[in-house]
Amino acid sequence: MVELSELIRELRAELGAAVAAAPAEGLRFELGPVEIEVSVAVDKRGGSGGKVKFWVLELGSDAAIARNSVQRVKVTLVPQIANSDAQPYVSGTQETAEG
């Protein structure tokens, strides 16, 4: 399992790499809202000052997790370039696994 915050951090890094690879000329795509939908397990630890963590479940995750502790979460992110009003654009070469 991976923490939801780590998933979003990695998504941010991937989108940042795509924006950095966008050429000044040629075909580009404006980056619109990004939606991710994941199944999460909620883990609450500690007493009055306890923390809640959301763990993203992988496909075929451990059946030991109680069915009622698993929730589906949909997050919509609107990417923006820091300290700028410019629209983010993405481009790049097609990877072999993309089709």
Looking at every residue in the chain, the average pLDDT score rounds to: 74
Query: Is the confidence at residue 5, as pLDDT, over 50?
Result: yes
Query: Is the confidence at residue 67, as pLDDT, over 50?
Result: no
Tell me the pLDDT tens digit for each residue of 24-52: 767 777 888 888 888 888 777 766 666 77
Residue percentage of the chain with pLDDT more than 70: 72
Query: Is the confidence at residue 57, as pLDDT, over 80?
Result: no
Looking at residue 48, what is its pLDDT? Answer: 66
CA distance 93 to 37: 26
